[in-house]
Structure 1
Amino acid sequence: MNELNVGVIGIGKMGLLHSGIFNGLNDSNLVAIAEKDKVMSMGLKKYLPNVEVYTDYEKMIKSENLDILVITTPVFLHKPMIEKANDYNLNIMVEKPLALNSEECKSILNKKINGKTLVGYCRRFAGTYSFVKEIIENSTLGKLISFQSQMFVEQVLDKEKGWQYDPSKSGGGVLIDLGSHAIDLLHYFFGEIDSVNAIGKTVFSGNVEDYVSANFKLKERIMGSMELSWSRRNYRLPELKFNIQFENGDVVVTEKYVEIYSKINNGKIKEGWNTFYKQNLTSQVPLDIGGPEYTLEDLHFIKCINEDKTSLCDFKEAAKTNFVIDSIYSSIKNESLEKIKYGV
């Protein structure tokens, strides 16, 4: 199997993370980085002498024989970069969300995609959430009834500066930032959403929402709720939690653990209380930079390219999250129940 040549656009936290992973895996090789910041570019050239460093991403795409392009830039840059990469038939991985809004997603999806695609909703690859996905798919605890979910972090407790707080560049506030992860997992667990009713509130950030509360109706009259805030004290790291009620028990899942109350014995789930930890549910990885889910995500993309398979969260799947986010924003603005409109 030949090594896949990888180029990365943007060397922030996620750019550095994926650069390190792809450069350390046996089946891929980091060959180029595009970064506009001159100080960062000089540092990259010094510490990565075997990697070509560009200040112009288009020049990198034209000059390098890339197999994979990884886009880790602010959201408003995703669409033009995706379209340019697609012109060169590259396999494209982009950090979440796919784009600013539904219209940009439709524009991307309406064009023929020439390579494999993946959007970085990394929690699909975390052991705890994958375990719960199996419980749902296998009906281990019987029929699904309802869910409550939340995602909190202590990030915004004063007016902040930066592109994340400019809706023309970020698409919005906590909903499209943290909330996109929660909504993606909602799709991963339960499938498509029928309708949503939501409220939002701005307290600290000024131009974007800091709090969102949403109620969902899914197929088969499954009901659920979601609370989002990046202004909750005592949450040093983002915490995404789902409480799920089934016919024969209840499940609480976070990135770190799964707690299950079961009325029945079924395989490794015993009657009564069960606790499973991330360490026991996560597959072994050849290297761990920032968490095994990121390595599993990158390995998955390499496998999909080599075996000509659709990735777990390709552009079409990831666009669903943008469609729901736009409906939530519409519900907040109009104080109304919104039907979810998927597709192009």
Structure 2
Amino acid sequence: MIKIAIIGLGKMGLSHTALLGAHPKVDLVAVCDTSSMVLNGFKRYNKSIKLYEDFNEMYAKEQLDAVLIATPTKLHYLMAKPAIEKGVHVFCEKPFSLTLEQGEELVAFCNEKKVINQVGYHNHFIGTFREMKRLLAAGILGDQFHFTGEAYGPVVTKPKGGSWRAKPEEGGGCLFDYASHVLNLIQEVIGKPTKVKGTLLKRFYSKEVEDGVFSSLILDSGLSGTLSVNWSDETYRKMSTSLMVIGDKGKIICDATELKVYLKEENKTESLPKGWSIKYITDLALPIDFYLRGEEYSAQIDYFIDNVEKGKQGDINTFEQALYTDKVIEMLKTDSNE
């Protein structure tokens, strides 16, 4: 059994707690949070799991194989570094870090200590996006002309006091919280952004951070496209993320529920007809043992635990990949100020 602890019992932390608690290869031995109210509530229903308010005390007292960090972004470096020092494998929620210097140090430290690492960009465990990546790699669109990456949702829909996500020194606003998902998907599914142009970071309701992110991106392949992200769109019930790629042989439109492919000619290799075809998430979802919020959340935890058990670093959502996303975020910030 892999002995693991969780730091941070907010929405994501509690979700991860449920997933790890049900995992057949995991022994969830401890949780840590600074809120005594949260810990007292947790204690009522979980008598065997040890509770801590100080993560350093938890590291000192527990013999951990791994730790899952689900705290505000500004704390990731502070909490991950001592775990890595002890050889504890680390799963960290996204975005990775608020500064490139901290992210680069953690990547180098993990390589030195041979610590398995993963960041919670869960979209890479959604079957539709995985299938899109496969089809693009198979070249079904021929020469690619253009792409779009979009995300919309109702996080901030009126002027009000925000959470830690709306504080630039803690969460980083829409750019870090929402756009990071889209940028990471573009990076790993379509290609790495190497240049950005015409970036607009727009405030609609927030006072300290942006609510919308709009930019033109150029990838390492030379392909250009657009980024459009808005967390102040009340026409959406929850976050909706999508990618589109256009080529000389057709186009692909993908979100978390379906993959739509249009081809100008039949592709016999992929058994795709001329015209439109649709693949649904129900046919592409990864198999999991425990479902909570979406199979992608279980699948990413399964992947991390499997890598820890094998002692082998995975190639999905590594610290290094997440650091590159942070570098693109920095490009956007710099471009918006020029």
Structure 1 residue 326 corresponds to structure 2 residue 327: no
Gaps of 5+ in 2: none
Q: Distance in 1 between matches of 2:235 and 2:304?
A: 35
Asked if the contact 1:136/1:144 (under 8 Å) is kept, the reply is no
Asked if the contact 2:194/2:328 (under 8 Å) is kept, the reply is no
Q: Within 5 Å, which residues of 2 pair with 1:283-322?
A: 283-311=286-314, 312-322=316-326
Asked if the contact 2:121/2:317 (under 8 Å) is kept, the reply is yes
Asked if the contact 1:91/1:116 (under 8 Å) is kept, the reply is yes
Of 264, 267, 270, which aligns to 1:265?
267
Provide the identity percentage: 26
DSSP 3-state at the match of 1:59: helix
DSSP 3-state at the match of 1:220: coil
Instruction: Kindly state the Cα deviation for residue 221 of structure 1 after the two structures are TM-superposed.
Output: 2.1
Structure 1 residue 225 corresponds to structure 2 residue 226: yes
| Number of the residue aligned with 2:216 | 215
Per the alignment, do residues 115 and 254 of structure 1 end up closer, same or farther by CA in structure 2, a change over 3 Å counting? same
Asked if the contact 2:140/2:267 (under 8 Å) is kept, the reply is no
- Normalising by the residue count of structure 2, what TM-score does the alignment of the two structures yield? 0.95
| Number of the residue aligned with 1:176 | 176
Give the letter for the 1:324 counterpart: V
Of 28, 31, 55, which aligns to 1:33?
31
| Number of the residue aligned with 1:44 | 42
Of 59, 79, 82, which aligns to 1:81?
79
Question: After TM superposition, what 4+ stretches of structure 1 lie above 4 angstroms from structure 2?
Answer: none
Give the letter for the 2:91 counterpart: M
Give the letter for the 2:336 counterpart: I
Asked if the contact 1:90/1:114 (under 8 Å) is kept, the reply is no
| Number of the residue aligned with 1:342 | none
Q: Distance in 1 between matches of 2:30 and 2:221?
A: 48
| Number of the residue aligned with 1:96 | 94
| Number of the residue aligned with 1:337 | none
Instruction: Kindly state the Cα deviation for residue 145 of structure 1 after the two structures are TM-superposed.
Output: 2.3
Q: Distance in 2 between matches of 1:195 and 1:113?
A: 33
Moved more, 124-133 or 109-118: 109-118
| Number of the residue aligned with 1:199 | 200
Per the alignment, do residues 113 and 225 of structure 1 end up closer, same or farther by CA in structure 2, a change over 3 Å counting? farther
Give the aligned CA root-mean-square deviation in angstroms.
1.3
Instruction: Kindly state the Cα deviation for residue 255 of structure 1 after the two structures are TM-superposed.
Output: 0.5
Moved more, 22-31 or 180-189: 22-31
Cα deviation, 1:10-49, whole Å, max 9, x if unaligned, reads 1011111111111111111211100111111111111011
Structure 1 residue 122 corresponds to structure 2 residue 126: no
Give the letter for the 2:302 counterpart: L
Cα deviation, 1:271-299, whole Å, max 9, x if unaligned, reads 21111111111022101011100111011
| Number of the residue aligned with 2:277 | 274
DSSP 3-state at the match of 1:260: strand
Structure 1 residue 253 corresponds to structure 2 residue 251: no
Asked if the contact 1:8/1:15 (under 8 Å) is kept, the reply is yes
Cα deviation, 1:182-216, whole Å, max 9, x if unaligned, reads 00001111232220011121121010011111101
| Number of the residue aligned with 2:150 | 150
Cα deviation, 1:154-183, whole Å, max 9, x if unaligned, reads 11122332221111112x211111011000
| Number of the residue aligned with 1:164 | 165
Q: Distance in 2 between matches of 1:104 and 1:254?
A: 32
| Number of the residue aligned with 1:341 | none
Asked if the contact 2:91/2:118 (under 8 Å) is kept, the reply is yes
Q: Within 5 Å, which residues of 2 pair with 1:238-249?
A: 238-249=239-250
Instruction: Kindly state the Cα deviation for residue 113 of structure 1 after the two structures are TM-superposed.
Output: 4.0
Gaps of 5+ in 1: 335-344
Asked if the contact 2:141/2:246 (under 8 Å) is kept, the reply is no
Q: Distance in 2 between matches of 1:175 and 1:314?
A: 20
| Number of the residue aligned with 2:53 | 55
Give the letter for the 1:85 counterpart: A
DSSP 3-state at the match of 1:275: strand
Q: Distance in 2 between matches of 1:245 and 1:161?
A: 38
Give the letter for the 1:290 counterpart: R
Q: How many residues matched?
A: 331
Cα deviation, 1:271-330, whole Å, max 9, x if unaligned, reads 211111111110221010111001110111111122232221111111001000011001
Give the letter for the 1:315 counterpart: F
Instruction: Kindly state the Cα deviation for residue 146 of structure 1 after the two structures are TM-superposed.
Output: 1.5
DSSP 3-state at the match of 1:168: coil
Q: Distance in 1 between matches of 2:238 and 2:141?
A: 30
Q: Distance in 1 between matches of 2:41 and 2:271?
A: 50
Q: Distance in 2 between matches of 1:241 and 1:300?
A: 23
Asked if the contact 2:2/2:309 (under 8 Å) is kept, the reply is no
Q: Distance in 2 between matches of 1:64 and 1:200?
A: 43
